[in-house]
Amino acid sequence: MLADGRPGKAVLMEDLIKGSGVAYLKVIDPYQLEETIATVKEADRMARSEKGGVSVIIARHLCLVSPGAMKKQKTFRMEVTEDCVGCQVCVKDFECPAMIMDEASNKVKIDPNLCSGCGVCIDICPTGAIKRKGA
């Protein structure tokens, strides 16, 4: 935005970063978990290599609480199956606010009022106990 309030020309973050001499730059969708993990490992290798330096990863994905984002995002109804062993990776490590530890059953439950339906928890669960409902 210009000083007088009119829209100005957009400047891409990638161009600014490249212009500063950064050799490793990658734009990813953080909801693509395997790609994200591989990219972080690659960036780390590059930064620690002999020719290393600054590595930059731009994680770009619509925030699901932004107006209209849910219309553009593929969503799922999620459920925790009986395979849940109560490891709490989804609660403590992934820190999804929709994941709640049920002390009585020692299993995780999903609060449907908080779940955005992004489906990332499917990849996070080490026992494969989180599934798309009806899948």
User: pLDDT digit string (tens) for 89-110?
Assistant: 999 998 889 999 999 999 999 9
Query: Cα–Cα distances in Å, from 30 out to 19, 40, 61?
Result: 24, 11, 7
Which one, of 108, 112, 107, lies nearest residue 77 by Cα? Answer: 112
Within 40-98, strands assigned E span 55-59, 78-80
User: pLDDT digit string (tens) for 14-70?
Assistant: 999 999 999 899 999 988 888 999 999 999 999 999 988 899 999 998 776 677 766
Give the model's pLDDT for residue 117.
Answer: 85
Give the model's pLDDT for residue 98.
Answer: 93
